[in-house]
Every structure is written in C-alpha cells, then in structure tokens.
C-alpha cells in the first residue's frame, strides 16, 4: 500500500468548524427510556413530570402537642387561662400525624399546663393552621414538578417520590465508540513497565476520553487497539457506523503523516466535513459523517485530544441531551510575564493561578500538546484569539477556571528556581491542610526575584551564588530588591554536580571535560542559579562557554536535564543529585549549595505562609527530603540574616 501524506486543505477557524458541525447534525434529541427515580440522578428528563400525589396528602401536625380548633382558644391569656378537655376540645398528637377531624391548629406541648385528669390549661390563643402542614403545602397533585430536559439531582429524588412518581422517562445516554489507533500503542493493563521499549506508548487517551464522555452524560465503549492498518480501521469504523452507536471517535491518525488514515477512512465511507482547525492544541481534528452519524478523528497527543473533545464532542453530546453547552467560570487575571502567540491560530494557554494581594495572577505552563501535566497542573485556560500576536503582562486577561475560585484564593504562589523538595513541601502541606495549595512555577532564581519585584508571587526559591565571596542570595536581594523588605528562609542545602549515564561511559571527571569535542551538554536557562553556578565554575577553569557543545540548549528543571541525559540526547548536564538518583543516573559532585525561600515581609505573617514555615520545620518534612538524596537539612527553616 502506498503511503501518502495528508494535506490540510481549507483549515477552518473554531467558529467555522463548530457551525459546520451543528448544522450537519441538527436532528432531534435522543429517545427516552424508563428508569427508577433513585437511579435517575444525573439523567435528563425526556418529558415533563407532574405530581400524582399531594405532599403531604393530609393535614399533618408540624409539632408535638395538642390539636385543637383554633376558634375555641380565642381569649386565652395568662390572666385568664382556658381549660380544655382532652379527647373533646383537644387531642394529643405527635409530629407528622393526621390532624383529627374538626381541628385546625396545634399547640406545642411545652405551652400546655396539665390542670387535672384529662384536662389542660392554655395561656395563649392559637391561630388557624398554627403548626400544621396543610394538605398539598409542598406539592399539589397534577402540578408540574420538573420540565423536560431538566437534570435530575439528589434533591429531585425526594420531590419525585413524595409526588408519587417512582419511575421517569429520561433521555438515553449518547453511546460513543472510541477506537484507539497506532502501531506504537501498548496496553498498560497487561504490560510490565520494564518491558516498554523505546518508541512504544502506553494507550491512555481512550480512558481519558471515556471518562470525559461520562462526565457529559454519555456512555462509551472502548474498541480494542488497532495498528496503523487502513483496512482494519476502515472495517471497525464501518461496523460501528452500522450499529447503535450515536458518535464515533477514532484516536490518532488524524494528522498529516504517511500512516494517518482517519481522513481516508471517513472519505471512503462517508464524507469529511472539516480537516484541521486553527486552534492550538487540537489542530489536526477531523469532523466527518458516515450513515448520518458524526465521526471524529481525535488527535493522538493527549492535550490536543482533550481540547478537541471539549470544543466539539462535548457540546454535541450536550445538544443530543437537550442541555446547554458546559461553560466554565471566568475571572480576570494578570499575567506574570508577556506571552507570545502565533497569528492565525487560537491558542488554549494553560496557566497556574493564585491570588496575590487583591489580584489573581496567572503564570503560563509549557504549551506542549503531548504533555498531559500542562492540563493536570493547570488552574485555568486563557484563550488567545487568532488575530492577536501575544498578550501583555500589563493588561487583564480572561481565564476559564479549571479549579474552584475559593481554591485559587487559597493558593501559595511560588515563582523561581526549581527544586524537588517543593513537591515534598506541597504534599506535606496538603496532607494536613487540604484546603491549601502550593503552586510553584519554574522560571529560575532571577525570574523569581523579578516576580517578587512585580508583586506577582508570595515567595521565590533562589540559589544565586555571589562569585566574589561565595555567599548565596543576599547580594542579589540588595541589588535587585533594594526597596522591598523580605525574609530569607533556608529550605535546604543540596549537592549540585554533573549528571551522566550509569557507569559514566564517557569517563567525565569534572567541569573541565565539558569542552571536549566528543561531549554534548544540556544547559539550564539564563537567570537560573544553576546557570550562574556553571558560568562561575567555567570562569574559574578558564573555559570559553562557546567551546561547549550544547551550551545554548536550555531546560527549565533539574528533572528535565536528567531526562535529557537518560534519553541519550546529551552526555551530561548540571543538576542536583536528587534528580540523578530519581532516574538511576550517575552523579559527579561539584558543589554543595544553599537553596533559600525569599518571602516578602508583608506576606510573612499571613496564615498560609506560617503554615508553610511550620511544615518546613517538621521532622516528617525533613525526613522525606533527606530520602530524596543529596539534601542536607541541618539549617532547614532557619531565618537568615539579610
């Protein structure tokens, strides 16, 4: 079979693609099915529901006491109490019991004085229907309880059952088939991690999409994984289109590669309505029609798959159920730094959020379409229109929230140098204070100080070496934050060194080997403490950075450096011992350095920062940090002189 590459012809904007989708599939709503009321929570009514029974279905006492006819109590007072005869003028009654004939009020038991055998006294009159639940007070038989397309909640169950409704007609859940495709895919359920080979990918998209379908009110069936075989994919899609599925999703194979067959399959069996939408991530999405059914080619990259689903499949499921499209809460936020974007493409930028002073601040996460953590770590999404080239950090932006606003307001915003102990700290805080979140963004030590200067974070991690005296951070605070009062708190001392493959196959001994012709290096970003340390060591050894292969290639975290070494992309990188240990790499020590937290004084006494400091000083935190390897906690939690 020849392998032809697809070409994106006439890509559509998001607005155009959605218009095409909903015009093509504008048929009626799904049919209904009868189910028991207690099982109907989350389901959508297919017809209006009216009460068959009044609630209460009789006049009922609302208090314990005596039931009376109110009119016979008129005139009673403390000065002139009235005496009533039990079982003649008054009748003992309990809450919820049927009111005796010819009574219309209840006098509470504590307002009754027993005056003799079968006699009681009252010192105040009752008024008609006092402490009585009248028949139909809550629900009147035949009245509308809920209209069609209403979503049943747990509260609704009580109303329906009380109204004599025990089963209801709800819309059938849209049934979606997910077909994961790709020769590189393997099933995580029956594969040992040590058996995963380079080039193989754990198939996860179908499980994510399946749960997204359920969250929209649909039901899904997962097809067995298919390799990149056009005929087998075609057969599976044809069978599904001729069955009872309402929507078909193929996952992977929608892009422009030589083994991306979704477009060809849909073309052969039906018609392609859209191939390619000017959004990022999610551009390769395909929308088609076979046998009158919507068929989607969902991109294989995880974030692309999620965005494509949320923009096209989710609203279509909602429409089939007679529901409005799900909308996220929106807030205004301030960017911590400028954001560049591509003209002609609508970008879904994932951001971390937190409230600093009275502003919500947003820090962008990496934009990789295949990086699921850019969604799991995100608090919100900023949609950058296709006619805008970028966003200025001075202008407010609209953010769609992925987490509740109260959670955003209870977030400690840390911006600065990356360190693995911040993850430990975040976990230890969450273990005891579940409402507090520590959100850290990795922009380097200098980036953290600049964030403090701009007032967009609560604290910054920093390990900036002063080449003149060997001290850390203090001289930088004086130089770059002269007008801001801060506290400097030691988090850890940590071992920095060269990370190499197990066994050190290139026989690297130290910094002086970085300029060898046979060595490829991976650097940290400019402004990071590790970069400053490297340049300091290179200067000590009289090494020209221009002679180091890879000096210009940058990563933003120690773990990213370690992964680059592990993958064989480079021979060596400078990073912390804990990163090397985590990936079973070898480590050549260079220096033990100080890593501190820079906290503006105005936040230092706040409740959340005090909880953070309390956590740092616990034995559990220190023990967890030491277990990572390469860390020293003798001065952890100490407030340093600045």
Identify the weakest region by mean pLDDT among 161-170, 281-290, 357-366.
357-366
Give the angle 183-188-190 at the CA atoms, nearest 5°. Answer: 100
The reported pLDDT for the residue numbered 5 is 54
Percent of the chain that is helix, strand, coil (3-state, to 5): 30, 30, 40
The reported pLDDT for the residue numbered 443 is 87
Express as a percent the part of the chain with pLDDT over 70. 97
The reported pLDDT for the residue numbered 1 is 42
Render pLDDT for 511-564 as a digit per residue (tens, 0 to 9).
999 999 999 999 999 989 999 999 999 999 999 999 999 999 999 899 999 999
Q: How many CB atoms lie within 10 A of CB 182?
A: 19
pTM of the model: 0.86
Same fold across 32-55+138-171 and 428-640: no
- Residues 6 or more apart whose CB falls under 8 angstroms from that of 30 comprise 171, 172, 174, 246, 320, 321
Render pLDDT for 212-259 as a digit per residue (tens, 0 to 9).
999 999 999 999 999 999 999 999 999 999 999 999 999 997 665 555
Report the pLDDT averaged over residues 417-446.
94
Which CATH number describes the domain made up of 428-640? 3.40.190.290
- Residue by residue, DSSP assigns 492-519 as EEEEEEEEE-TT-TT---SGGGGG-TT-
Instruction: Give per-residue burial for 331-362: e unless 16+ CB within 10 Å, then b.
Output: bebbbbbebebeeebbbbbbbbbbbbeeebbb
CA 322 – CA 331 distance, rounded (Å): 27
Render pLDDT for 32-50 as a digit per residue (tens, 0 to 9).
999 999 999 999 999 999 9
Q: How many CB atoms lie within 10 A of CB 590?
A: 16
Instruction: Pull the structure tokens for residue 626.
Output: 């030491």
User: Is the pLDDT confidence value at 2 over 50?
Assistant: no
Q: Which fold is adopted by the domain 32-55+138-171?
A: Molybdopterin biosynthesis moea protein, domain 2 (3.90.105)
Query: Is residue 373 very low, low, confident or very high in pLDDT (cuts 50, 70, 90)?
Result: confident
- Residues 6 or more apart whose CB falls under 8 angstroms from that of 636 comprise 490, 491, 492, 616, 617, 621, 622, 625
Answer yes or no: CATH 3.40.50.980 is held by domain 60-133.
Answer: no
- Residues 6 or more apart whose CB falls under 8 angstroms from that of 211 comprise none
The half-sphere exposure of 575 on its side-chain side, counting CA atoms within 13 A, is 35
Residues 529/535, Cβ–Cβ less than 8 Å: no
Question: So where are the chain's domains?
Answer: 14-27+174-320, 32-55+138-171, 60-133, 331-402, 428-640
CATH class for domain 331-402? mainly beta
The reported pLDDT for the residue numbered 369 is 73
Average pLDDT, the chain: 94
Report the pLDDT averaged over residues 464-484.
94
Tell which CATH architecture fits domain 14-27+174-320: 3-Layer(aba) Sandwich (3.40)
Query: Is residue 8 very low, low, confident or very high in pLDDT (cuts 50, 70, 90)?
Result: low
Express as a percent the part of the chain with pLDDT over 90. 88
User: Is the pLDDT confidence value at 404 over 50?
Assistant: yes
The reported pLDDT for the residue numbered 549 is 96
User: Is the pLDDT confidence value at 27 over 80?
Assistant: no
The reported pLDDT for the residue numbered 256 is 58
CA 566 – CA 272 distance, rounded (Å): 42
Render pLDDT for 592-635 as a digit per residue (tens, 0 to 9).
999 999 999 999 999 999 999 999 999 999 999 999 999 999 99
């Amino acid at each position: 079979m020849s392998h032809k590459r697809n070409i994106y012809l006439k890509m559509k904007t998001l607005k155009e693609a959605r218009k095409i989708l909903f015009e093509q599939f504008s048929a009626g709503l799904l049919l209904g099915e009868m189910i028991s009321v207690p099982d109907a929570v989350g389901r959508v009514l297919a017809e209006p529901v009216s009460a068959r029974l009044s609630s209460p279905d009789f006049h009922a006492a609302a208090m314990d006491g005596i039931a009376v006819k109110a009119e016979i109590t008129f005139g009673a007072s403390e000065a002139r109490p009235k005496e009533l005869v039990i079982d003649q003028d008054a009748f003992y009654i309990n809450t919820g019991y049927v009111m005796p004939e010819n009574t219309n009020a209840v006098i509470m038991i504590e307002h009754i004085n027993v005056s003799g055998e079968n006699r009681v006294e009252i010192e105040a009159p009752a008024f008609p229907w006092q402490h009585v639940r009248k028949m139909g007070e809550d629900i009147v038989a035949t009245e509308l309880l809920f209209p069609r397309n209403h979503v049943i909640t747990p509260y609704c169950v009580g109303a329906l059952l009380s109204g004599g409704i025990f089963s209801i007609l709800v819309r059938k859940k849209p049934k979606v088939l997910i077909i994961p495709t790709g020769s590189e895919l393997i099933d995580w359920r029956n594969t040992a991690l040590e058996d995963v080979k380079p080039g193989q990918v754990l198939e996860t998209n179908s499980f994510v999409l399946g749960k997204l379908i359920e969250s929209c009110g649909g039901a899904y069936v997962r097809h067995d994984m298919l390799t990149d075989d056009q005929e087998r994919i075609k057969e599976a899609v044809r069978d599904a289109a001729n069955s009872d599925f309402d929507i078909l999703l193929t996952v992977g194979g929608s892009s422009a590669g030589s083994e991306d067959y979704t477009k060809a399959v849909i073309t052969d069996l039906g018609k392609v309505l859209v191939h390619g939408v000017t959004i990022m991530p999610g551009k390769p999405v395909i929308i088609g029609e076979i046998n009158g059914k919507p068929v989607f080619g969902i991109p294989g990259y995880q974030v692309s798959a999620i965005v494509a689903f949320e923009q096209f499949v989710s609203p279509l499921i909602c429409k089939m159920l007679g529901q409005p499209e799900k909308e996220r809460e929106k807030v205004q936020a301030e960017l911590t730094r400028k954001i560049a974007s591509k003209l002609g493409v609508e970008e879904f930028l994932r951001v971390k959020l937190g409230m600093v002073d009275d502003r919500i601040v947003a820090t962008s996460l990496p934009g990789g379409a295949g990086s699921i953590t850019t969604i799991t770590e995100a608090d919100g999404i900023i949609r950058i229109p296709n006619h805008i080239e970028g966003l200025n950090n001075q202008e407010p932006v609209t953010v769609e929230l992925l987490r509740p606003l109260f959670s955003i307001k209870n977030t400690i915003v840390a911006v600065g140098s990356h360190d693995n102990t911040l993850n430990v700290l975040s976990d230890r805080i969450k273990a005891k204070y579940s409402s507090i979140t520590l959100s850290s963004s990795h922009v380097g030590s200098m980036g953290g100080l600049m964030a403090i200067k701009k007032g967009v974070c609560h604290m910054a991690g920093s390990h900036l070496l002063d080449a003149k005296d060997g001290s850390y951070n203090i001289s930088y605070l004086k130089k770059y934050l002269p007008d801001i009062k801060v506290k400097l708190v030691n988090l850890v001392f940590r071992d920095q060194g060269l990370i190499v493959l197990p066994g050190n196959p290139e026989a690297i001994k130290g910094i002086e080997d970085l300029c060898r012709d046979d060595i490829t290096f991976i650097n940290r970003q400019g402004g990071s403490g590790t970069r400053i340390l490297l340049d300091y060591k290179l200067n000590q050894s009289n090494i020209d950075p221009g002679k180091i292969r890879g000096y210009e290639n940058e990563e933003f975290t120690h773990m990213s450096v370690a992964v680059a070494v592990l993958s064989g992309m480079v021979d060596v990188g400078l990073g912390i011992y804990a990163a090397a240990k985590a990936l079973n790499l070898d480590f050549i020590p260079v220096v033990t350095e100080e890593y501190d937290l820079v906290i503006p004084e105005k936040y230092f006494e706040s409740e959340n920062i005090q909880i953070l400091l309390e956590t740092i000083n616990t034995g559990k935190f220190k023990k967890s940090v030491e277990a990572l390897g390469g860390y020293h906690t003798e001065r952890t939690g100490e407030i340093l002189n600045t």
